[in-house]
Amino acid sequence: MRGKPPPATAAVRGLADPERVAVNRTVARGPSGGDVAAWTAALLAGVGASRASVSILLCGDARMRSLNRAWRKVDRPTDVLSFPAEPSHERGVRFLGDLAIDVPYAARKARRYGHGDAREVQILIAHGLLHLLGYDHETDHGEMFALQRRLVRRAFGPGPDGVPEDEPALKRRAS
């Protein structure tokens, strides 16, 4: 990734709980595990799931391509994959599932859209978490993208939110 991403603010970092957000890195570059955990905790709090837990893999193109091929039968890397957990009726912390984020892919995407690498990873975490929570932008008439826009901006401030500019349901709502 280009440069070092900005550290999470103290307020956001204070939300991180290593018991609830596990980050595994297989790439040397990219945001720190602590920042990713803090960003994830802020987003979980934003959807009212602050007691939920999730694991995140920060990987490279080869690992992501392998995962995408195995799980989606698509033989190329992608930016983020979500693997929802089986529903559990246990009390206490709810495990939502696993996210895999392709860090080099995210960096290329950030350059293409003209924003920072850290912001792109924040967007991908939000997008992946919403999938873990059951949202599906291909079938929900814009609900997931509308929530993603609000979450990203509320947690990280103004800037890119990862919502496609041509999302028709959002344009109708904005009118």
d(CA 70, CA 141): 28
- Mean pLDDT across the chain, nearest whole number? 84
Tokens of 166: 């041509």
Q: Which long-range contacts (CB under 8 A, 24 or more apart) does 148-156 make?
A: 148/123, 150/46, 151/43, 151/46, 151/47, 151/126, 152/122, 152/123, 152/126, 154/46, 155/12, 155/39, 155/42, 155/43, 155/46, 155/122, 155/126, 156/39, 156/42, 156/119, 156/122
Q: How confident is the model at residue 58 (pLDDT cuts 50, 70, 90)?
A: very high
Please state the rounded mean pLDDT for residues 102-110: 97
pLDDT digits (tens, 9 = 90+) for 132-160: 999 999 898 889 999 999 999 999 999 88
**Residue 21 DSSP label:** E
Q: How confident is the model at residue 172 (pLDDT cuts 50, 70, 90)?
A: very low
The domain spans of the chain are 10-174
**Reported pTM:** 0.83
Q: Is the pLDDT of residue 12 over 80?
A: no
Return phi, psi of residue 96, to 5°: -80, -35
Tokens of 6: 């900005």
- Identify the pLDDT of residue 38: 96
- Identify the pLDDT of residue 43: 96
Q: How confident is the model at residue 170 (pLDDT cuts 50, 70, 90)?
A: very low
Fold of 10-174: Collagenase (Catalytic Domain) (3.40.390)
- Identify the pLDDT of residue 165: 72
Element (H, E) at 58: strand 53-59
